Structure 1
C-alpha cells in the first residue's frame, strides 16, 4: 500500500478500522449506513476525522457494556 500524507486529526481507513476493532468492510458499512462520514482523501483512500472515530468507538464500547 502506498504511504499517504494525511493531515493531523485524521485517520486512514486502515487506522479507523484498527481503532474500531473492525475490518475495512465494516468501515465501508458504517459509511454506507451514515454512522461515519468521510472527511477527505480520495474515493479509494478516504480519511476520517479522529473525533468522529473516537465518538463511534465510545458509543460501541458503551453498547457492549450495557
Structure 2
C-alpha cells in the first residue's frame, strides 16, 4: 500500500529523498549500508523516522564516498 500521508513522524522513501535533496535510490542505499533503518511499513513500502533521515543525511555527508583527505603540509 502506498501511503498518501505516512504515519505522523515518518516519511516514505520518496518523501525522505525529497527532504534530503537526493534520489530515492540513495535512501535505499543508506538502508543497505546500515546508515538508515526502516521503522515500519511493508518490505516494498517502508517508512523512516524523520529524525533518522536527518541523522543519515549528516552521516552520509561526513563520509561522502570519493572524497580524498587533504594531504596539505
TM-score (normalizing by structure 1)? 0.77
Distance 2:15 2:63 in 1: 22
Aligned-residue offset at 1:25: 0.9
- The one-character-per-residue Cα deviations of 1:5-26 (angstroms, maximum 9, x if unpaired) are 5210000000101111111111
Aligned length: 63
Highest Rg: 1 or 2?
2
| 1:1-66 pair list within 5 angstroms | 2-60=2-60
Aligned-residue offset at 1:3: 4.0
Given the superposition, is the C-alpha separation of residues 42 and 52 from structure 1 closer, same or farther in structure 2, using an over 3 Å criterion?
same
TM-score (normalizing by structure 2)? 0.70
Higher relative contact order (CA 8 A, sep 6+): 1
RMSD: 2.0
Q: Larger strand proportion, structure 1 or 2?
A: 1
Give yes or no for contact 1:17–1:27 (8 Å, CA) kept in 2. yes
Question: What stretches of structure 1 move > 6 A for 4+ residues in a row?
Answer: none
- Unmatched tracts of structure 2, length 5 or more: 65-73
